Amino acid sequence: MGFTPMIEQYLKIKSKYQDSFLFFRLGDFYEMFFEDAKKAALELEITLTSRDGGSDERIPMCGVPHHSAQGYIKRLIEKGFKVAICEQVEDPKIAKGVVKREVVQHITPGTVMEGSMLDEKENNYLATIHFINEENFGLAYTDLSTGETITAIVEDGWHAVITEIANRPIKEIVLKEDFPDQLRSELKERYQFTISELEEEFEIESQKALLSSLTNDNLKRTCNHLFSYMFYTQKRSIDHLRPAQEIELKEYMALDLYSKRNLEITNSLIRNEKYGSLLWILDKTVTAMGARKLKKWMERPLLSKNQIEKRLTVVEGFQQQFFERQTLREHLTAIYDMERLAGRVSYGNVHAKDLVQLKNSISRIPSLKEILNQFSNKEIMALSEKIDPLPALFEILDKSISDDPSLSIKEGNIIKDGYNEQLDQYRYASRNGKQWIAELEKKEKEKTKIKSLKIGYNRVFGYYIEVTKANLHLLPEGMYERKQTLTNAERYITPELKEKESLILEAEEKSIELEYELFLKIRDQVRGYISQLQELADIISEIDVLQSFATISEENNYVKPNFSTNKVVQIEKCRHPVVEKVMKNGHFVPNDINMDKEKELLLITGPNMSGKSTYMRQFALTVIMAQIGCFVPCEKAVLPLFDQIFTRIGAADDLVAGQSTFMIEMLEANNAIQHATSDSLILFDEIGRGTSTYDGMALAQAIIEHLHHHVQAKTLFSTHYHELTSLEDNLERLKNIHVEAEEIDGKVVFLHQIQDGAADESYGIHVAKLASLPDELIDRASVILKELEGSNKGKIKESEALDQLSFFPADEKKSKQPMPKAANSKTVEAILKLNILEMTPMDALNELYQIQKKLKE
195-244 pLDDT, tens digit per residue, is 998 877 777 777 888 898 899 999 999 999 999 999 888 887 788 899 99
Angle (CA) 638 644 650, round 5°: 100
CA distance 475 to 466: 12
CA distance 771 to 784: 19
CA distance 392 to 398: 10
What one-letter code names the amino acid at 730? N
DSSP secondary structure, 616-657, as one string:
HHHHHHHHHHHHTT--BSSSEEEEPPPSEEEEE-S---BTTT
Q: CB–CB of 197/128 below 8 Å?
A: no
Indicate the fold that domain 5-107 takes in CATH: MutS, DNA mismatch repair protein, domain I (3.40.1170)
Q: Is 12 annotated as a binding residue?
A: no
Q: Is 612 annotated as a binding residue?
A: yes
CA distances from 427 to 323, 412, 417, 432 (A): 48, 10, 9, 8
Indicate the fold that domain 283-390+529-556 takes in CATH: MutS, DNA mismatch repair protein; Chain A, domain 3 (1.10.1420)
Q: Is CATH 3.40.50.300 the classification given to domain 130-251?
A: no
Q: CB–CB of 580/588 below 8 Å?
A: yes
Of 12, 354, 82, 67, which Cα lies nearest the Cα of 234?
Answer: 82
Q: Is 590 annotated as a binding residue?
A: no
Q: Please compute, for residue 33, the number of CA atoms within 13 A of its CA located in the half-sphere on the CB side.
A: 20
Q: Is 608 annotated as a binding residue?
A: yes
Q: Is CATH 3.10.270.10 the classification given to domain 568-817?
A: no
Angle (CA) 355 357 360, round 5°: 110
* Residues of the chain scoring pLDDT < 50: 651-658, 793-824
Dihedral of alpha carbons 153, 257, 682, 835, sign: negative
Q: CB–CB of 219/138 below 8 Å?
A: yes
Q: Please compute, for residue 836, the number of CA atoms within 13 A of its CA located in the half-sphere on the CB side.
A: 18
Q: Is 818 annotated as a binding residue?
A: no
CA distance 294 to 544: 9
Q: Is 607 annotated as a binding residue?
A: yes
Q: What is the pLDDT of residues 453-480, one digit of tens each?
A: 999 998 888 899 999 999 998 998 889 9
- Residue 226 phi/psi, 5-degree rounding, is -65, -50
CA distances from 116 to 74, 112, 335 (A): 8, 10, 18
Q: Is 2 annotated as a binding residue?
A: no
Dihedral of alpha carbons 526, 530, 535, 540, sign: positive
Q: Is 606 annotated as a binding residue?
A: yes
- Strand, helix or coil at 600? coil
Per-residue confidence (pLDDT) for residue 200, from 0 to 100: 73
Per-residue confidence (pLDDT) for residue 369, from 0 to 100: 95
Q: CB–CB of 300/250 below 8 Å?
A: no
Q: What is the CATH number of domain 421-524?
A: 1.10.1420.10
Dihedral of alpha carbons 52, 55, 59, 63, sign: negative
CA distance 222 to 217: 9
Per-residue confidence (pLDDT) for residue 656, from 0 to 100: 40
